[in-house]
A = this chain, B = another copy of it.
């Protein structure tokens, strides 16, 4: 019995593991398997020719009909398992339960992985780093465009921003950002451009007219169309002068980000990196908790996350992450503080962990108050 046989059933579009293994961006699910002697995919008639042309060259390509024409995944896998003499498969943790139960009822063991299905995905090759850098160049261009729109806006007597004769809204900013990215063959979903009190909710995408003297949190995380790698960056701007508390929060968050970066290297424990940032924020008076009415305040998300074929992947830089970095991880460093009374600040760079230090991939200034 082969111990290390791996099985995936997923689409390349939804599953980063499948995209990593096959190189195929498919809308529909298909089968990938890996034994000691081969790595292969099994494709439907619809995907077979394109798969052979566009997928990884080291794979073997089978058609569904090689293992039973017009059959369900369970039957295809049963027939393939017999042909390959495999009775035990390791599958990812998110393997579909219904199919797993069907395979088990056919005496095919499937064991979900507790760890990463492809642990090597956490440590980026030079080619992968180059892809994330490419995604960041597109991201920076979009961020500079958004910044310029805020700079170019005038402020009316109610404090509303006016851009080219129209009210500047979160929707306009997001749309302009996303179009700038598309022109560089990158897709953005859920770009954030949240201002005022909306910025107190880290994932609020923002809506409505943008006002002066209040934070505008812009978080851009596009995916390259060709390779599927992501970029990720956040900046916070204020049109004209920021209130004292917002200015203080901005400085604390930038300090926290830069302090945390000093800890990122091979051997560093993620929780220590998180704590380094949190310590700066607390020492500046930005504490974390939950209000009587149930609203969170302070720094209530993790410091960062891996970025690659998923926007959120291993490792997490959270207060409970205890596994030391090995080097080669690409992670975001994105402390933020959020208060329902005045909004939020988040500043996010992306770095590669090296032997002795980390290298910042992001190429963008930390401008804050814009004229």
Contacts and interface: CB of A to CB of B under 8 A. Distances in A.
A1 interface: no
Copies of this chain present in the complex amount to 2
B70 A98 contact: no
Contacts of A70: 320
A27 B311 contact: yes
A179 interface: yes
A187 B187 contact: yes
A259 to B, nearest CB: 22
A96 B98 contact: no
Contact of A27 (B13, B98, B101, B312): B312
Contact of A300 (B25, B46, B92, B113): B46
Interface string A13-51: 110000000000111100000000000000001111110
A155 interface: no
Interface string A276-302: 000000000000001000111000110
Contact of A97 (B65, B112, B202): B112
Given A27-B190, A94-B98, A182-B178, A47 B203 contact: yes
A345 interface: no
A314 to B, nearest CB: 14
Given A26-B203, A100-B97, A49 B295 contact: yes
A313 to B, nearest CB: 12
Nearest to A46: B301
Interface in A169-217: 171, 175, 178-179, 182-183, 185, 187, 189-190, 200-204
18 contacts: A13-B190, A25-B190, A27-B311, A27-B312, A45-B296, A48-B294, A49-B200, A49-B294, A49-B296, A65-B290, A93-B97, A93-B99, A94-B98, A97-B100, A98-B112, A101-B112, A175-B182, A187-B189
Contacts of A48: 294, 296
Nearest to A320: B70
A77 interface: no
A25 B187 CA distance: 17
Contacts of A178: 182, 187
Contact of A183 (B96, B113, B175): B175
Interface residues of A, number: 55
Contacts of A100: 97, 100
B201 A50 contact: yes
A157 interface: no
Contacts of A183: 175, 179
A91 interface: yes
Given A175-B182, A179-B183, A190-B27, A96 B94 contact: yes
Interface in A63-82: 63, 65, 70
A110 interface: yes
A58 interface: no
A114 interface: yes
